[in-house]
């Protein structure tokens, strides 16, 4: 139903990203962050509109009942100019690759996230024997090796319920901390240095981008027409999400200023019992979300290689791939245990591509012959702008994040 879709859309977009928003504002400044978050939110929502609209057109043309993101890209290329048609399999592969990299990147961020929050609480009680963050990530990864062997989504549903509940309660309590004794806005930077903006954009795009979830939600709706349009489920959902993110970002940075950490939960006073419970609640919520997030990349990879494996070896192979992927996530998280640059790197690389560049190219291909690019070729110019914006985000975000990692490695050795 429309309401269920609305709830799922909120859930798909309200992940750990919301907890990183104050750090995004730290890199943007209080007032620039306020305006820019709404702008990026509008662009992300608009690109989802483009994608869903093109999917509707292609489904009608090809008489296909429903399509995933990669299907839409492939069909769009087959419908586009002749020069694009031979690239149709390639674009399908690219979309799937970026979806997998994006979701696995998110899984790695989740591991760092859980590890950092648990470490803070445990360190408070065991001052003498502090374990390093890298060791905590290893400890967190071990139980996930077993949880990620669950292949049926039905068995993961109760974990999802628990995760949503804990996340919700955790965020409400975090709000009470943020809103107590707020300082005045004078002490905060209004517009940050331009060199920090890419980190802001990377983080915001990471936080807002639920494009991987969108197509599957729209496919499952009773009235898919209600998803886009006016007032649509998508517009209402994204409106709520963007407003919430802006609230958390604005007031989180206002409260903690230059001290703002990669996740707002890390700023809560560690000696408070209530704050400790928030850190642990959100850590458990993100821990459970890992298994759900992990489900999508594994199904994409498995679909791609299943037909090449002998039927009697399929079970063992799938379990093997699942274990390898969890170990890979653990290894990446251990290598890069700093949340800030990691989040903006994933945002810049995957989500500029999937959220802006690919939908724009899809629209250009779908509208190529019929109904054309409109008066003065406005669709062509608009999509060229979106693609350019996506590429700028991609390169600057990646460059700045890598510089941050480089500084950190040189500093830590």
| pLDDT of 230 strictly over 80 | no
> How many whole angstroms separate alpha carbon 272 and alpha carbon 87?
57
Q: What share of the chain is helix, strand, coil (3-state, %, to 5)?
A: 80, 0, 20
> How many whole angstroms separate alpha carbon 110 and alpha carbon 112?
6
DSSP state of 225: G
> How many whole angstroms separate alpha carbon 220 and alpha carbon 261?
38
Contact between residue 14 and residue 323 where contact means Cβ atoms under 8 Å apart: no
| pLDDT of 89 strictly over 90 | yes
More confident residue, 156 or 167: 167
DSSP state of 148: T
In this predicted model, what pLDDT tens digit does every residue of 121-133 receive, in sequence order? 998 888 766 789 8
Q: Report residue 402 as tokens.
A: 């890598």
| pLDDT of 223 strictly over 80 | no
Is residue 360 classed exposed, middle or buried when 0-12, 13-18 and 19+ CB atoms within 10 A define those classes? buried
Phi, psi of 4 (to 5 degrees): -60, -40
More confident residue, 324 or 339: 324
Q: Report residue 279 as tokens.
A: 């850190």
In this predicted model, what pLDDT tens digit does every residue of 124-165 receive, in sequence order? 888 766 789 899 999 999 999 998 888 877 787 788 888 888
pLDDT at 413: 47
Mean pLDDT of 2-13: 72
pLDDT band for position 284 (cuts 50, 70, 90): very high
More confident residue, 92 or 227: 92
Q: Report residue 365 as tokens.
A: 């291909």
Mean pLDDT of 283-289: 89
Query: Which residue blocks in 15-152 are alpha helix, DSSP H?
Result: 17-28, 30-62, 69-79, 82-85, 88-125, 133-147
In this predicted model, what pLDDT tens digit does every residue of 234-263 receive, in sequence order? 788 888 888 988 999 999 999 998 899 888
| pLDDT of 214 strictly over 70 | no
3-state secondary structure of 229: coil
Cis peptide leading into 371, omega within 30 of 0? Answer: yes
Fold classified for 2-410: Amino acid/polyamine transporter I (1.20.1740)
- Predicted TM-score of the model (pTM): 0.85
In this predicted model, what pLDDT tens digit does every residue of 329-355 receive, in sequence order? 999 999 888 877 888 888 888 878 888
| pLDDT of 359 strictly over 50 | yes
3-state secondary structure of 376: helix
């Amino acid at each position: 139903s429309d309401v269920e879709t609305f709830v799922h859309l909120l859930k798909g977009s309200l992940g750990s990203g919301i907890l990183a928003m104050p750090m995004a504002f730290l890199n943007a400044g209080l007032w620039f962050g306020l305006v820019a978050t709404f702008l990026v939110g509008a662009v992300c929502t608009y690109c989802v509109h483009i994608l869903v609209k093109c999917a509707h057109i292609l489904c009608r043309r090809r008489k296909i009942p429903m399509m995933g993101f990669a299907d839409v890209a492939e069909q769009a290329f087959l419908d586009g100019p002749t020069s694009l048609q031979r690239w149709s399999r390639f674009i399908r592969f690219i979309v799937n690759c970026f979806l997998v990299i994006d979701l696995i990147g998110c899984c790695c961020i989740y591991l760092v996230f859980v590890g950092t929050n648990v470490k803070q609480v445990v360190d408070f009680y065991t001052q003498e024997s502090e374990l390093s963050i890298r060791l905590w990530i290893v400890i967190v990864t071990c139980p996930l090796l077993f949880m990620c062997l669950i292949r049926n989504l039905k068995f993961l549903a109760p974990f999802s319920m628990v995760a949503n509940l804990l996340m919700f309660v955790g965020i409400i309590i975090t709000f009470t901390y943020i809103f107590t004794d707020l300082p005045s806005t004078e002490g905060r930077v209004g517009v940050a240095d331009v060199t920090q903006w890419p980190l802001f954009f990377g983080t915001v795009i990471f936080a807002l981008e639920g494009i991987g979830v969108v197509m599957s939600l729209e496919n499952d709706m009773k009235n898919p027409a209600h998803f886009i349009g006016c007032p649509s489920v998508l517009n209402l959902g994204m409106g709520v999400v963007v407003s919430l993110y802006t609230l958390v970002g604005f007031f989180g940075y206002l409260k903690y200023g230059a001290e703002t950490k990669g996740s707002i939960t890390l700023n809560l006073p560690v000696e408070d019992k209530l704050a400790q419970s928030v850190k642990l609640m959100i850590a458990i919520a993100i821990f459970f979300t890992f298994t759900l997030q992990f489900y999508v990349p594994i199904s994409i990879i498995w679909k791609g290689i299943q037909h090449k494996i002998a039927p009697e070896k399929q079970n063992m192979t799938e379990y093997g791939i699942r274990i390898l992927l969890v170990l890979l996530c653990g290894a990446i998280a251990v290598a890069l245990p700093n949340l800030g640059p990691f989040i903006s790197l994933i945002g810049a690389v995957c989500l500029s591509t999937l959220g802006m560049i690919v939908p724009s190219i899809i629209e250009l291909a779908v509208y190529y012959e019929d109904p054309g690019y409109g008066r003065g070729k406005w669709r062509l110019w608009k999509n060229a702008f979106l693609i350019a914006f996506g590429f700028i985000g991609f390169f600057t975000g990646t460059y700045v994040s890598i510089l941050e990692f480089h500084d950190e490695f040189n500093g830590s050795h």
